[in-house]
Chains A and B, each alone.
Chain A
Amino acid sequence: MSKRATTNRRAYLKGLGVSLALPLFDSLGWADTKAKPPVRLGFMYMPHGVIMDQFWPATAESFRSAPPPALESLRPVLDQCLMMKGISGVPISPFNGAPHALELSTWLTATLPAADKRNEINIAISADQIAANHVGAFTALPSLELATMAQTWKENQEGLNEGYYSHCSFRSPTQAVPAEVNPRNVLDRLFSRQQPAGGARAASPLSGLDRSLLDIVLGGARDLRRTLPVSDQRKLDEYLDSVRSVERRIAAIEVRQKDAALEKAGVRASQRNASDSPPIEIRIPEGDKRSEYMQVMCDLNVLAFQTDTTRVSTYIGSTPNGASYPELGFNDQHHSNTHHNQDPEKVRKIARITEFNIAQFAYMVKKMAGLREAGGTLLDNCIMMWGSGLEDGNQHTRENLPFIIAGQGGGSLKSGRFYAATKGNQGDLLTTLLACAGIPIDRPVGIATKQFEEIKA
């Protein structure tokens, strides 16, 4: 794509009355642009920690040659992974009785909830949403939130709001972002395609008329806002923010449709570079096998990144209330095995569950590694973090949180290494990853005090 085309498209968007940076769509490749492909940032979660001696590599040297059992599935791409041991979680005092309410909610915030407002959601914007604030405007979706379990767990630890149990992504300190659990819905969203149930007619309900409609509704909402008390005004701000976000999304869809129409009319030749891989296919599984469910969500994440529909994702592989894994030959729930007290049978089960989860992550990053993009692979341009908010589910420790980071971040990360004696916390790590993704950091994430310069290329 030439520089001029870029300018024209931006001008076109301005003409729509929406200030919007350049969206790049699946019909477009990266190879023939001057610009480097964007860095995409993804986070995938498993609760309850790992069996430490089966997770951490023995030495920096043996990391790739003799990886520990938990990492077996990643072996083909270990040269593109990095691990750091010695990253501590947020100290959870005064919420010592709430390890599970905090493992997920502190994971991307590196912050504790406000103690005097524990009833409500009051924490901090999460790293993924910080990134979305900076790069979200470039894509049809500012960010993508995926999960495999409904976020409805009712358990109250230390008086903390239930939402802390099942959310990792926070749009603002007071707003948890819900995740999508239905792969069909995600697919429809990525392609802005809604099938009316029972009907074959595919309609795109998000039209230019909708955008004008939302503009009018937005005006009415602002009038309402002026009549409300302060606390209600804040609540309405979430609404206004959501409306604006949908408006931008509609504008982006219109551009996409216009491009497609131009191409079809032969006005413009396809911009897709022949060397880039075509968008992957999505097959929604029929049964209820957990691996297939997790993998289709992985596929959707890959597709969203590949087509630059979004550049930021979170994927809650499961929530702390406990998935079960009948595929592994046992039905009991994840959490009930984590307090294993070294019982070999339970230890074995937790190790299997960890391997299983990492294998799903491996499935995703290996797929990315197989997709050509701009002379390299999609994975080259991603930073995919897998991890857990506890180190050891048995003792609830958080001294060496398990993290695996795959991808080179567009050449910003030194991969293929194990940093065996890191000193720092999860805020430091998140801040470093944001910096590598090119996100301007105006303040550190949560408890961060520094960045890990050693992992930067």
Chain B
Amino acid sequence: MDGAVRISLAFSLVLGLVPGRALAADHGALKADAEEFFRGRVTPFVTNYCLPCHQNRRPTRAGVNFSPALKDPGHAAFTEQWKRGAARVKAHDMPPKNAPQPDEADRQMFGDWLAKLKYLSHQDPGPFVLRRLTKTEYGNTLHDLFGVEPSIADGLPDEVSGAGYLNSLSSLQLEQYLTIAEQVLRRMPPAVQRRLFGTPDPRQFARSLARKAYRRPPSEAELDVLMATFDLGKRNHLPYPQALRLMVKAILVSPQFLFITPAGENKSSNGIVPLDDYQLASRLSYLLWATMPDDELMALADRSTLHEPAVLKAQAKRLLDDRRSRALFDGFGAQWLSVGGLKRQVFDPKLFPQMTAPMRQAMYDEVRLFFESIVREDQSVIRFVDSDYTYLNETLATIYGLQQSVKGPAMRRVRLSDGHRGGVLGMPGVLAATSFPNRTSPVKRGVWVLEQVLGDHVPAAPPDVPALDKQDPAAVAKLTLRQRTELHRTNPVCANCHQILDPIGFGLEKFDAIGRWRERDSNGQPIDATGELPGGHRFSGPQDLKAILATRSSNVGRNLLERLLAYALGRKLEGYDEIVVDDLMEQLAADGYRMRPLIYGVVTSYPFTHRRVEEKGAIREQTRNN
């Protein structure tokens, strides 16, 4: 795609050139301006240069049709079309050579239009589909319901959570659900069994268990279904408790348990509706705890008050204060900070014998405890980058050179005097996650800082990278890693990105591949960790780099907000979401981008609390042959 656009974005982020985000109060004016711009500039452009081939008339060229997009330019369905159109026009791919050509100013205008597009988007919570419990959520929910270990779900396939979650269900998984249901019945602690199966009335049993397991009151029809399984047991001469067990099994393979389903039928057949309070309770609980809503949340849903912003916020606070909120790190934080794969990451055992299982665990826990402390203490998001404490045990302290003062296996809070440490950029877990098995990767570290900390997007390297030095491989071999990497910048194709990436990566080069401080590289050469970012920000080492990044609080805040919102919604952000983020950013900036308001903002946001209902009605059940 159009690398140049994104690269210039990278520049501007690092330099802080992104123009101030619009304030909510201005939305009306901005929308009017966008409409005016659309009518006055975009419509004539599209009419003259696009519609001749791409309109409501068969055959449309390449399946592209601008007629509907002209009628409703802000509709989320057309966002991609506008973006792609602008890229083609900018690259002079379109209009085709034999057609009338716009002048450069008009081409530029068609690209600038993208920045205004969001103001025309409709208030829309975005696509919403029934969500299946993830593997983690499923295991935790079984734990809460039946007192079995969450590891009972270990055999299920691993899956991506948050944005990119596949949300699909295969026969392999269903079969495993059935098998796991059997194991749940077998492994249930006796106390739970006595409590559960002591009920003399099977329908009452079904009602009370289904309410918990379906996370909403079951309908009478749903109870009839469960009673049918009880009757099946009786017909097969099962004793009473065994017939109840059959009902448990039925509950555990029902879609109402496996998916988060709405309570009752939606009254409106089309359009946007608030989530019912039970769905909201599940959404909140699975986001912050990765398990089913507890009694208090269910009681608030019963009273239909959970959706009130003050109540919702108070519940979010209560959930965050509970230890179970560590799920937010395991599900979201670990992914964001890239330490989720540390356990399985390969390191050369000869070079890094320190990377034992306890060491990897300590590295992960350090990042986790640090993340949790920022949430618990409601610190500013900028503390992620720049802070003066961390969490260590003796194992991990060896990486910091603090093994004299930190003893024993327990992780504890440690105040840091070394300005290069403190914050995720100096954490061994992060530094190791962005390294190769045998050495550091300044490029990977540079990309990591830009993408994970500043929220920029770095395009993948083009495949046709010419060889770095065809003339004299021997000479290249003698260069330091830095000198070799700097060859990137002698090639203009590479230079665009690498002049930003590489300095950041080299700023961290005094941390080795597992995060130990060093003055010399593996060849004994002294390390040069100085650099200059475009725009003249000079730095020397991690401490300076941290200080530069710490001034970018709105970039760091927006990045974290966008990532958390996408994770909470289980989808990528698009269209109207951008307006939601703009509004939240305005509120967050006012008190220094603190972590709690950021989370409360997400859980009370419009897309988190609403759903779009596509037209109802019967589509034929899809059946397949096998």
Q: State the A residues within 8 Å of B (CB).
A: 94, 96-97, 99, 115-116, 118-119, 121, 132-137, 142, 145, 150-154, 156-159, 161-163, 171-172, 174-182, 185, 189, 194, 196-197, 199, 203, 205-206, 209-210, 212-214, 216-217, 219-246, 248-249, 324, 326, 331-333, 336, 339, 341-343, 394-396
Contacts and interface: CB of A to CB of B under 8 A. Distances in A.
A194 B466 CA distance: 54
Contact of B463 (A115, A152, A394): A394
Interface residues of B, number: 85
B511 to A, nearest CB: 19
Given A196-B183, A246-B178, A217 B466 contact: no
Interface in B152-197: 155, 157-160, 164, 166-175, 178-179, 182-183, 186-187
Contacts of B437: 324, 331-333
Contacts of A210: 178, 249
B73 to A, nearest CB: 15
B422 to A, nearest CB: 27
A455 B548 CA distance: 63
B254 A220 contact: yes
Contacts of A342: 467
Given A162-B164, A220-B222, 5 more contacts: A151-B158, A189-B172, A209-B236, A324-B437, A331-B348
A339 B465 contact: yes
Nearest to A393: B463
Given A324-B346, A331-B437, A396 B625 contact: no
A236 B622 CA distance: 10
Contacts of B246: 209, 213
A230 B615 contact: yes
B178 A181 contact: no
Contacts of A175: 168, 170
Given A154-B335, A235-B167, A339-B465, A145 B172 contact: yes
Interface stretch (B76-84, B138-146, B303-311, B587-595): B76-84
Nearest to A181: B157
Contacts of A245: 171, 174, 626
Contact of B255 (A115, A197, A221): A221
Interface of B: 1, 77, 80-81, 84, 127-130, 155, 157-160, 164, 166-175, 178-179, 182-183, 186-187, 221-222, 225-226, 228-229, 232, 236, 246, 249-250, 253-256, 258-259, 261-262, 265-266, 335, 346-348, 436-438, 459-461, 463-468, 473, 571-572, 574, 613-619, 621-626
Nearest to A156: B164
Contacts of A179: 157
Main secondary structure, interface of B, reads loop
19 contacts: A132-B626, A133-B626, A150-B157, A156-B164, A161-B166, A163-B164, A172-B622, A178-B166, A179-B157, A194-B182, A206-B178, A220-B226, A223-B225, A235-B130, A240-B621, A246-B175, A331-B348, A333-B436, A333-B437
A191 B109 CA distance: 65
Contact of A161 (B164, B169, B170, B228): B164
A399 to B, nearest CB: 13
Contacts of B253: 213-214, 217, 243
A151 B157 contact: yes
Contacts of A234: 129, 619, 622
B80 A163 contact: no
Given A225-B621, A229-B614, A248 B626 contact: yes
A341 B459 contact: no
B128, B164, B613 — most chain A CB neighbours (10 Å): B164
A242 B170 contact: yes
Given A136-B626, A137-B625, A217-B253, A396 B178 contact: no
Nearest to A206: B178
Contacts of A121: 166, 168
A229 B271 CA distance: 11
A180 B158 CA distance: 10
